A and B are shown apart, each in its own frame.
Chain A
Amino acid sequence: MSTDTSTNIQNKEFETESGILATIKELRHSGTAMGGLLIVSLLLVMAIVSTVDIVLLDKAIIKSLFADPHEMNTLQIYAPPSMEHPMGTDQYGRDVLARIIYGSRVALAIGIIAVGIGFFGGVTLGAFSAYKGGYVDDIIMRALETLYSIPGLVLAMTMMAILGPSIYNLFFAYGIIGIPAYARVIRSEVLSIREEEYIDAAKAAGLSNYKILFREIIPNGLSAVLVQATLSMGSVIIGAAALSFLGFGVQPPTASWGRMLNTAQSALLIAPWVAIFPGLMIFITVMGFNMLGDGLRDAMDPRTSLRSPKMEALEEYADRVADPTKADPVGSDDWLAGTALSGKDARNDATDGGERQ
């Protein structure tokens, strides 16, 4: 019998689509997720182009398009938006648009790297701690809570003072600061997930703790943390600006949105554009990541479909036309029976209600 089956299989395509590919395919059915993806990709393009520009081309691209983001012009201090400077100029007469484009490098790097460190560190520690329980849980969580109790800025400054004021240490410091928040969120999720029967089933099957943790538990608790990660993107960008302002991290004249926002405060009344545009960019960035994150969360959950019901029906119809011999989808009869039954039930309920009245 086994040989029969195995020859049978060779003809069929049973290879599982890799999880990431399936997720991205699913993502294209959601408008907001695609919007988020568009924003994030535009930012990425901006960041990559400006990095190439500054490292290899000596600002040739930005100069030909707009202006040198580092060039000061004392005659043009706080110039309002015009054709020459679409977003106006700052207190040294530098072009705000050029600086915003250059600032995307720092903003994205800090957003992605710092949030990434916090996310992976927090998820791993929190999930491990909740899964192990007992003393391990106590030790890890108390240590993280100690970290949490120190104000983020103070902790970051201390770390920067120890590690030295470089931009890479800034990423690292902000990553570490983020860990406790993620750890706490995932821990509470894992505490309930580890009581599920499928965890016992995995244990009884003999899977290793590592596999149970990363394949059974974490994927089921990830959605809450994913939202947290996209939301904290903005606060990290602004927080990094505060550190830069205090002399750690991003050093002038490197353009950074947070820093621009910070220095613009003193001239908010006479030159609001210097603050508005970097603020708007931070807002758009956070929104882009948030929309993408929301879409990702839904796409990763096999129980929710991002497809609209109409599209699904169309695709199913197309499938059937293409291959009329194909078997019905799982339990399609049950589905029908279920809907018919529920319809009847609803009617019964209605009549019952009527009678009672």
Chain B
Amino acid sequence: MSSLHDATTGTERESRGESPVEQDQPLLRVRGLKKHFPVNTGFISSVKLNRSGGFPLTLDDTKVRAVDGVNFDLHSGETFGVVGESGCGKSTLARTLVGLEQPTDGTIVFEGEDISDFDSSSLQQFRKNAQIVFQDPQSSLNPRRKIGSIIADPLEAAGWDKDKRRDRVLELLEDVGLEEDFYNRYPHEFSGGQRQRINLARALSINPDLVIADEPVSGLDMSVQAQILTLMDDLQDEYGLTYLFITHDLSVIRQVADRIAVMYVGDFVEKAPTSKLFAEPHHPYSRALLDAVPNPDPASRDLSAELHGDVPSPSDPPSGCKFHTRCPKIIPPDGFSREEYIEYVTFKTEFDERSVDPTDDPATYFDVSLPRLAQSTVEKAFTLAEDGDWDAAKAELDTHQSVCETAVPDLEQVADASRHTSACHLPDAEREPYTW
């Protein structure tokens, strides 16, 4: 069994790439995983007044698409990192994978067995093989129970007897760098770093193959972060663990991950080996994220955060490529320059939110002058909106559309690098080489 977890076999397997015909079985295979949450719970609260005429009541079945079709393979012994902004669905992905949420669609195959339905017997088996470490060291331990019994929880669920549980917990306490004496203490007696060690011990107690770590170090200060990451690394070697490591911190992920997926509004936009992603990020969003990392060099004062605006709402994600509303490299349609079209897209987003006053002069909404064709479109849209017909106005504005808005890009292999995939329409010829 332990040879399965051998780190070297994991890397070998990895180097063969994610070809559709996999010779080796991945530890975890996720295909088209979706998790949608209804905005309204229950039938009664989803019935809304219909103000636009017709039948006076409508059924509001809006959904928050927290995870919207994620694919990946996880191989034994590797550390797979998932990064993204707050609210992009990282934590939901983690919770769905360990069965805390029922997936809306898609398949999760663990060691060749389909566990996406999570019926109780397969779930019980899966629990022995996959555990989760939570983000908040304060609230993830029950304040009224001693840590000895908290750590033994997965063992208890698996039916170990009391003496064996105790022996195992004492062994684990040592493994995670705590003292055996701590067995009978309560969580409030520990610091944040110690609590996270306890969380790790709990996750490892049942000797799982897969540990899903949901922002395990973001609640800790820098020096303790380093300790915990080193500990996780040591434990990976000792127990032959596979990590799915979720974080928003690029410097953390760079240190721990073998491969990284960049997540944006429920989708993976780019997947690449760590060194590749940091050296040659392909997707404009990955580039923007990397640009946002603070530069510790005091000589360079300018902060070049390229990303403007808010993350779009996952209940009504943008069409096409979800990043097009904020993308600095959007492909302009004929007749527009990129700068003009970015301006136009920003205006369209504002218009959709109806934060535009149609009685104003259209020119006040633009910093650059639009092409003549677009100017007349905007004017038409303003007249329509003034008459109260916002839908027609919106349709009018949509006469100019980029390919980024109309077509969803697939995750495609980037050039010759076989394991580097990215979902972007931008042709490689137009992509500038990336520099830090």
Contacts and interface: CB of A to CB of B under 8 A. Distances in A.
Q: Tell me which of A200, A207, A220 has the highest count of chain B C-beta atoms within 10 A of its own C-beta.
A: A200
B43 to A, nearest CB: 11
Interface in A1-32: 1-2, 5-6, 8-9, 12, 14, 16
Given A219-B144, A303-B186, A9 B170 contact: yes
B308 interface: no
A14 B153 contact: no
B141 interface: yes
Contacts of A201: 132, 134, 140-141, 153, 199, 202
A202 B153 contact: yes
Contact of A16 (B146, B153, B158, B180): B146
Nearest to B134: A197
A202 B145 CA distance: 12
A16 B181 contact: no
B143 A204 contact: no
Contacts of A334: 191
Contacts of B167: 2, 5-6, 9
A331 interface: yes
A198 B139 contact: yes
A55 interface: no
Interface in A189-218: 196-198, 200-208, 211, 215-216
A220 B190 CA distance: 19
B189 A331 contact: yes
B157 interface: yes
Contacts of A16: 146, 148-149, 184
Given A302-B144, A330-B189, A205 B170 contact: no
A162 interface: no
A303 B180 contact: no
B141 to A, nearest CB: 6
B142 interface: yes
Contacts of A219: 144
Given A201-B202, A301-B144, A331-B190, A5 B171 contact: yes
B124 interface: yes
A327 interface: yes
Nearest to A334: B191
A196 B146 CA distance: 17
A205 B155 CA distance: 8
B131 interface: yes
B142 A216 contact: yes
Contact of B188 (A12, A198, A303): A303
A196 B145 CA distance: 15
A6 B174 CA distance: 12
B139 A197 contact: yes
B273 to A, nearest CB: 29
Q: Tell me which of A5, A12, A204, A220 has the highest count of chain B C-beta atoms within 10 A of its own C-beta.
A: A204
B154 to A, nearest CB: 4
A215 B152 CA distance: 14
Given A5-B171, A201-B202, A205-B202, A330 B142 contact: no
B180 A206 contact: no
B365 interface: no
B174 A5 contact: yes
A169 B70 CA distance: 61
Nearest to B212: A204
A204 B127 contact: yes
A216 B132 CA distance: 18
A207 B156 contact: yes
A200 B142 contact: no
Contact of A203 (B100, B166, B170, B188): B100
Nearest to A302: B186
Contact of B166 (A9, A207, A211, A327): A9
A303 B140 contact: no
Interface string A278-322: 000000000000000000000011110000000000000000000
B166 A205 contact: no
Nearest to A216: B142
Contact of A196 (B139, B180, B189): B139
Contacts of B182: 330
Interface string B89-133: 000000100111000000000000000000000011001100110
Nearest to B183: A14
Given A9-B170, A303-B188, A331-B191, A198 B140 contact: yes
6 contacts: A5-B167, A200-B140, A204-B127, A302-B186, A331-B189, A331-B191
Q: Which are the 10 A-B pairs with shortest beta-carbon distances?
A: A206-B157, A206-B127, A205-B153, A302-B186, A197-B140, A205-B154, A197-B139, A198-B142, A197-B134, A204-B132
Given A197-B140, A198-B140, A334-B191, 8 more contacts: A6-B170, A14-B184, A16-B146, A202-B142, A206-B128, A207-B153, A220-B142, A330-B190
